[in-house]
Amino acid sequence: MKSNTINKLEIAKFSKIAAEWWSPNGKFKPLHKFNPIRIKYLKENIIEHFKLKQTNSPLKGLNILDIGCGGGLLSEPITRLGAKVTAIDASKKNIQVAKFHAKKNKLKINYICASPETLKIKKKFDVIFCMGVLYHRRDPIDMLKELKAGLNRGGEVILDTLIIEGNDEVALTPIRYAKMKNVYFIPTLKALLNWIEKAKFSDVEFIGKRYTTTNEQRKTEWIDGESLESFLNKDETKTIEGYEPPLRCYLKLKY
């Protein structure tokens, strides 16, 4: 097959995937509905934290790392606000889609296929987004230390991770959680705050928490895996293994 034919097929393939990921009325509609709220909070928080001026590009001059970037739903709007964004994801397919969509929209984003521990850059960042990654790490305290080490002094980490309800300083250590084998620790909020203290962040701010819905995580033609509804029992009150359903927690960690 000629290379130009292969290129056309690749373009068609990733165009279809990108269209599905970025369609506000498609399978990711709930995520798109939540994203403007998330972007608004991040923009206002970063402006306040760094005492920036409200302009068309208020984040200009800031270096931001987006860990677990997926198809770029967070990286692109943050880039449009003026930030220099480096975005990583362990999924090669996600990075290919993100690169395709950014190029199509003439956005300069440094997309890298890597996990946090394999990222080979010495650059430090003003802000790090760590979204849905911490519970996949075998040593969450070590990762929190790495996040702090990747910050410029005065910077901050915006953390999105899973927690369990409870007042004790404990963590769930499942063999599988919602059919995922690579979930190692899901702490209570108190336990998570202990981890953050051990990582020696100067301050932590609780933003909020919410349960993940079945509409947010759905099976598609191009994502390997199943939808969230197949991970839960019939009334969606427990995971298929009998654990509490996914509860997302949002925190701001300061250096």
In sequence order, which residues have a C-beta less than 8 Å from that of residue 224 and are 6 or more positions away?
none
| 117 and 143 both lie in a single domain | no
| 94 and 155 both lie in a single domain | no
- Phi, psi angles (nearest 5°) of residue 209: -150, 155
Cα within 13 Å of Cα(93), Cβ side: 9
Where is the domain boundary, 123, 158, 184? 123
Total structural domains in the chain? 2
| 4 and 79 both lie in a single domain | yes
| 139 and 238 both lie in a single domain | yes
| 119 and 1 both lie in a single domain | yes
| 137 and 119 both lie in a single domain | no
For residue 2 the two structure tokens come to 């000629």
| 48 and 117 both lie in a single domain | yes
Alpha-carbon span 32 to 216, nearest angstrom: 9
**129: closest CA among 85, 178, 177, 181?**
85
Where is the domain boundary, 69, 94, 123? 123
Alpha-carbon span 57 to 52, nearest angstrom: 10
Buried/exposed code over 201-211 (b: 16+ C-beta within 10 A; e: otherwise): beebeeeeeee
In a 3-state reduction of DSSP, which class is residue 109? coil
| 98 and 22 both lie in a single domain | yes
| 119 and 152 both lie in a single domain | no
Alpha-carbon span 28 to 219, nearest angstrom: 10
| 70 and 100 both lie in a single domain | yes
| 213 and 245 both lie in a single domain | yes
- Those residues of the chain that have pLDDT short of 70 are 1-19, 27-28, 30, 213-230
User: 105: domain CATH number?
Assistant: 3.40.50.150
| 102 and 138 both lie in a single domain | no
In this structure, the number of other CB atoms found within 10 A of the CB of residue 95 comes to: 21
Its domain, for residue 9, covers: 1-123
